Structure formats: structure tokens, C-alpha cells
Structure 1
Amino acid sequence: MVMGAAGSKLEKVLGDQFPEGERYFGLENFGNTCYCNSVLQALYFCIPFREQLLDYYANNKNLGDAEENLLMCLADLFSQISSQKKKTGVIAPKRFVYRVKKQNEIFRGYMHQDAHEFLNFLLNELVDILEKESNALKSPPEALSPSEKISNGPSHPVMNGVRKEPIVTWVHKNFQGILTNETRCLCCETVTARDEMFFDLSLDIEQNSSITSCLKNFCSTETLNAEDKFFCDKCCSLQEAQKRMKIKKPPHILVIHLKRFKYMEQLGRYKKLSYRVVFPMELKLNTAEDADSEYILFAVVVHVGSGPNHGHYVSLVKSHNHWLMFDDDNIEMIDESTVQTFFGSSQEYPGNTDHGYILFYECLGGKS
């Protein structure tokens, strides 16, 4: 295949240091599928997720009536990569891409697609499949009401007037965190708190900033007044209030999406922000309990190009203390210092258009 030379070059570079049992395989691009390939590589090198997906595959691959769904297609692809005899090469994720396009018309055409939108779709789809499987094991199909049968999302059915606990799948265990949305009425001081689940944090970005400052802004206090007043249940009226977000429970895998595409009213279209946003190799996340969770960067999905409707995606991955760049079917080793070249540009008209877009951090110190 095309990448034979690049693959063997990588083997030569790593030599005796080639990690035992690891596989580095590029993914073929079917015209516009770099958005999919870059996210798949980041997920493949998310080791807890990969291991659980391969376990799932081992337990389900022999089920005769196993439905051809997105979860099985992904598990099959990861299994193909991990069981290759060769250490490096290229795989065509044809079955998986076909399933994605069949499942979601957004990804059917040949337009440039958004990697973050794809990641969201994929994780939610996996959760839906796992929840349905779990519900099917708990109750025979005839016991389900028609509304439960067609429910297509995290359902929380009520049994005998008691709300059943939502199902926690291994996808949740890896990626789900909890935010608390707190609103304090400035008249009676009552605090209303609402929990929200998240699989990733989408952060607004500013020029010459850092992930830490973006997270601080995300959690900063905002005053609701004038037309934005808050209806306080205790005062039974609209009141001025203060609102803030807190990270109540951090996820084991923290996915940060930098909002690099902004709608410009004056232009009537989206524009890419090439702002320089520093993302550290190690990140401390301050949580609601004021305890610091420590994270280490292991993957970055990079958007290459000057606008939202065209361009390319590659992924940078840390594996066994080496950094690699996966560009569809091509893989090369890079220095850790090279990762900094993807922070963005401090100039308004950058020469370099390769910018970090989705960051993947893993929590140190075991599963949270």
C-alpha cells in the first residue's frame, strides 16, 4: 500500500523502542473523511476507551443476530488495527464510514465536515446503543411500552412512580463529567443549582490566552439584569441574579473543544479564529470541591485551513512517551516541542493555519 515506505520509516525511527504490542496504522481517506479519521485516531489512543471497546467486541462478536450498528463497526475497526501482524500500515475504515453516512445524512455529502460535531454524534450514538442493550437485558421487549421502545436517547423511565436511575455505560465512565449551573437571586440570596452532564467542554477563546484562562472565563460569574433578569421562585418575580458554572465532577477523559469558528454578523458567515491559545502538556482542573484534578494531554485534533467550510484535519497523539502525527494514511514521529506550533498565531493574518481544535486529556491517578 501507499504508506509502506512511511510505515517502515517509522519502524526504523523507533527501532528497539517500538512499543510492545502497539500498532500504528493510518486510515484511508474517502474524499472528505479526514474529520472522521482524526477523531478515530484520538479515540484509539485513548487507552481506557480502546480497552473497553475491545472487551465489548470480544464479548459480542459471536452473537449471531448482532445488529450491524455503529458500535460494532467501531469495535470491529479497533479490533482489526490492534490484531494486525504488521506494526505499521494503512487500514480502510470502509464499513465504519458507510455506517456513519447511513446513520446521519449530515455526513453523507462530499462537503468539509466538522470534527467536533462528528465526535459528539459518535459518542451519543454509542451511548444510545449501549443503553438500549442494557434495557433489553433488563426487560423483555413485550414489557416495554411503545414510547420506551422508540425512545432514542438517555431515557429515565418511571417504574411504579419511582424514577429509575439512568444507565451508566463505559462511555459515560470515560467521558462524562458534571457541571453545576448556579444562580443566586440578588434580592433574597436564594441559590438555585442545576446539574448538567457533559462529554466535552466547548470554550470561548481570546487572542494570546491559555486553556487555564479559558476555563476561568467559562466558570466566571455573570450578572443577569435588564432584559436578562432571572425568575426567582422564592420572590415569585423577575430579579437581578448572579450566575456561574462550576465543574462538579471532572471526567476521567477531559475533552476540550476550542470554539475557533465564530459567526460574524457583519460578514454574514462563520470565520475561523486563528488565536494563539496555549494548551499545556499537564493541566490542573479546579473543581467545585476546590480539589485539583491533574490531567495529561494525549491527543490533539488539529484543523488545517483558513476557514470553516474547507480545510483538513490531522491528529497528534502521544503513545508510549512518543508524539506521532496521523495525517490520514500517513504517520510521522514529531518532537514534543512541535506540539507548541499548533497553539495558533498571535498575528491577525497568520502564515500558519494549523491550529489545535479538540484537546484530549486523561486524568492522572486512575479512573475518576
Structure 2
Amino acid sequence: MGAGGSKLEKALGDQFPEGERYYGLENFGNTCYCNSVLQVLYFCVPFRDQILEYYSNNKNFVDPEENLLTCLGDLFTQISSQKRKTGVIGPRRFVNKLKKENEIFRSFMHQDAHEFLNYLLNEIVDILEKESHAAKSDPETSSPSEKLADDPKTSHANGGAQKEPLVTWVHKNFQGILTNETRCLRCETVTARDETFFDLSLDIEQNSSITSCLRNFSSTETLNAEDKFFCDKCCSLQEAQKRMKIKKPPQVLVIHLKRFKYVENQSRYKKLTYRVVFPFELKLSNTVEDAEPEYSLFAVVVHVGNGPNHGHYISLVKSHNHWLFFDDDSVEMIDESTMQTFFGSPHELSSNTDNGYILFYEKLAAGGTS
């Protein structure tokens, strides 16, 4: 991408951020789902810094075991240490390890970027937890990277009662807590159940917004007829009202828009190209907290195409107040106004299939800065 790289450097000119690198990623045959997510994670700066620190501490350890985390650390280190400001890197080591670890990503078929993101974050958590356990079992043979994880202080919804799971830097960046409240309409007793999340999957409607999707996500649902709730206090099935609220907002809020809907009479998934407006600044009003946490959009994974089994993924990333367009090995600068072309189409039949699919928001500090 020699010419493209110089074009981007010329576009930024003196505003090219000190020490930053903008590199495209080579596509190894339908690996755009992987490339688009990797670009977003690289420009999630707190996450990137932790990956680089992990790899720096781990690479000099005797016979480190290669896994997805070390491969990701190797890729991020390659990008950040390049002498040239722009160019192309082939994430072959990472992709090969991904295919070896999970047969879902082994074929050359079109894969889902959201599914890949979920798998990668959970796999990193598993690796850190195993290393922490190994470090406690045999401190003499543990690698320096295992000191990076925090002591367990809070519990996972799925962690069980035996031991409290590790709170890793993946949790610190991406994990939030939902509370599911059910109120019995007979005795008014409220039952609350907490569950953790790395992203929120939202149903979408035509000509809507992220704010309205979040409002629907937290709307009150009445449980009656065959869906009655078993109330422990009444010791019987009762009509009840249920709602979901965000108990603890994450530092990085990942919103997955459910653009693929299963059509039963056709026995296939259909893509919803609905227009869903995503704001640059977002307030979370459906939280347990009194204050409304504020977020700022910093990245979008876009799905291009008419259906889930074919198409393409690109990513839009905000870096140092500039929006960048990453399409595999191509990187360009775009105007902020261009972002609205990825909201979706207000009409059912449209040639515009470049639709925002996964949104990434960073939590702003009380003063309004991230």
C-alpha cells in the first residue's frame, strides 16, 4: 500500500499523531471479519496497551506457549514498532493460530465478526485465568505476564460459588453488569438477578436510533398466561413484570445490532438494512445509577452485503480526532459527516448495504473526557 500510505500521510500532514501507526491488514481469503475486529481492538488504546505490556513481559520467558494472546501481542507489537507510519502487515501467525484453535474459523466461508469478537475476548480471559492458576500452583515457573492480572474481588454471574474468578484487564475494559428485575404483581416482591456482559445485543427497528433500541431493551415486559413467573414468596405461578437494567456500565460499551433475522418460512437468515442512527455521544439513561454515564463513539464494524453468508466487513476508527476507514489492506481518512452513510437505509429495497453492525463507545470521565 505504498501509494495509499503516502496519500494518507499527505492527508494528515503535520497532524499525523506522534508515535501512531496506521497499517492495513492483509486478507488471507475471507478474513475480513477478523481484520475489521483486530483494527478496532488495536485502536481501543487501554486494551492495546495491556496487550503490548503482556507480550513484552511474556516474549523473553523461556519457551512461552504460543496461544491467541501471544499471537495478538506479536501482531500489535509489529504494528506499533514499524519505522514507517503507514503500510500493510499480514496477520498470518494470528489467523493460522485462530484456525487451529477453532474449527468454526477454519474454512474459507464468510464468518461473523461479532461471533469472532466474542470468541477472542473470552479466549483471552481463559488464557489469563489459566496462567494465573498456574502461577499460584507453581510461582517459580510462572511467567512475568501472569503478574498482570488482579486478585479476584468480584464474582462472575457464571462463576459459581466455589471460587471467585479472576478480574482481568479484559473485564476491566469490556465487562458490565446487567440486573434482571422481576416484580410479582400479587405480593410486589422484586427478585433481582445479575449477569455480566461483554456486549449488548439489541433488536433493531426501521428508522430508529441506538437510544430507542436501548430503551426497548430495558422496557417492562408483563409475564402472564403461559409465561407466568414462579414467585418464591407466594409459592406459586403469578403474573409479574420484568425489566432489564444496566447495573454497572462498562468502560468500553460494545453494542451489537441484530441485523440478521431468521425467517422461518424461508428457513434462512435475512439481513435487516434498517436505518439505525448511532450518535457520536451517547448517554445511558437505562442504568441503576442516578447519574447518566456518557460515552463517545470511537469505532464501528460495518457489514457490507445483502446476507449473513456472503459480504464483507470494514471498520471505521476514530484516532486522535480523525476518522479512518480500514478495508483490509487499505486505509483512508474520511470526514466525520461520512459516518451517517453507514446508519442504514430508510427504505426496504436499497442498494446501500454498508450498515453499522458493532459499535464501540468509550466511557467519558465526569469532566467529559475519556
Answer whether TM exceeds 0.5 for this pair: yes
Equivalent residue number for residue 184 of structure 1: 183
- Deviation at 1:58? 1.2
- Between the aligned partners of 2:35 and 2:157, the Cα distance in structure 1 is 27
Equivalent residue number for residue 12 of structure 1: 10
- Tell me, what secondary structure is at the counterpart of 2:269? strand
- Tell me, what secondary structure is at the counterpart of 1:306? strand
- Deviation at 1:164? 3.0
Give unpaired runs (5+ residues) of structure 2. 140-155
- Between the aligned partners of 1:157 and 1:219, the Cα distance in structure 2 is 26
Q: Work out whether residues 157 and 195 of structure 2, in 8 Å CA contact, stay in contact via their aligned partners in 1.
A: no
- Between the aligned partners of 2:92 and 2:84, the Cα distance in structure 1 is 20
- Deviation at 1:139? 2.4
- Between the aligned partners of 2:235 and 2:185, the Cα distance in structure 1 is 13
CA deviations 1:301-328 (Å, max 9, x no partner) are: 0000011110000000000000010000
Q: Work out whether residues 42 and 315 of structure 1, in 8 Å CA contact, stay in contact via their aligned partners in 2.
A: yes
- Between the aligned partners of 1:182 and 1:349, the Cα distance in structure 2 is 39
The amino acid that maps onto 1:10 is L
Q: Work out whether residues 54 and 79 of structure 1, in 8 Å CA contact, stay in contact via their aligned partners in 2.
A: yes
The amino acid that maps onto 1:318 is K
* Aligned pairs for 1:8-47 within 5 A: 8-47=6-45
Q: CA RMSD in A?
A: 1.6
Equivalent residue number for residue 90 of structure 1: 88
- 1:253 equivalent to 2:238? Answer no
- Deviation at 1:66? 1.1
* Aligned pairs for 1:259-270 within 5 A: 259-270=258-269
Equivalent residue number for residue 150 of structure 2: none
Q: Work out whether residues 157 and 196 of structure 2, in 8 Å CA contact, stay in contact via their aligned partners in 1.
A: no
Runs of 4+ in 1 over 6 A off after TM superposition: none
Equivalent residue number for residue 230 of structure 1: 229
TM-score (norm 2): 0.92
- Between the aligned partners of 1:266 and 1:183, the Cα distance in structure 2 is 34
CA deviations 1:107-141 (Å, max 9, x no partner) are: 00011000000000000000000111111112249
Equivalent residue number for residue 295 of structure 1: 295
- Tell me, what secondary structure is at the counterpart of 1:305? strand
Q: Work out whether residues 342 and 355 of structure 1, in 8 Å CA contact, stay in contact via their aligned partners in 2.
A: yes
- 1:165 equivalent to 2:164? Answer yes
The amino acid that maps onto 2:197 is F
The amino acid that maps onto 1:277 is V
- Deviation at 1:156? 4.7
* Aligned pairs for 1:198-217 within 5 A: 198-217=197-216
TM-score (norm 1): 0.93
- Tell me, what secondary structure is at the counterpart of 2:19? coil
- Deviation at 1:65? 2.2
Give unpaired runs (5+ residues) of structure 1. 142-152
CA separation of 1:96 and 1:202: change in aligned 2, threshold 3 A: same
> Percent of aligned pairs with the same residue?
80
- Deviation at 1:46? 0.3
- Between the aligned partners of 1:30 and 1:350, the Cα distance in structure 2 is 30
- Tell me, what secondary structure is at the counterpart of 1:37? helix
- 1:343 equivalent to 2:332? Answer no
Aligned length in residues:
351
- Between the aligned partners of 2:75 and 2:20, the Cα distance in structure 1 is 15
The amino acid that maps onto 1:332 is E
- Tell me, what secondary structure is at the counterpart of 1:345? coil
Equivalent residue number for residue 357 of structure 1: 357
CA deviations 1:63-105 (Å, max 9, x no partner) are: 1121100000001100100000000000000000001101110
- Tell me, what secondary structure is at the counterpart of 1:292? coil
Equivalent residue number for residue 152 of structure 2: none
- 1:305 equivalent to 2:291? Answer no
- 1:108 equivalent to 2:132? Answer no
- Between the aligned partners of 1:335 and 1:364, the Cα distance in structure 2 is 23
- 1:56 equivalent to 2:67? Answer no
- Between the aligned partners of 1:57 and 1:99, the Cα distance in structure 2 is 16
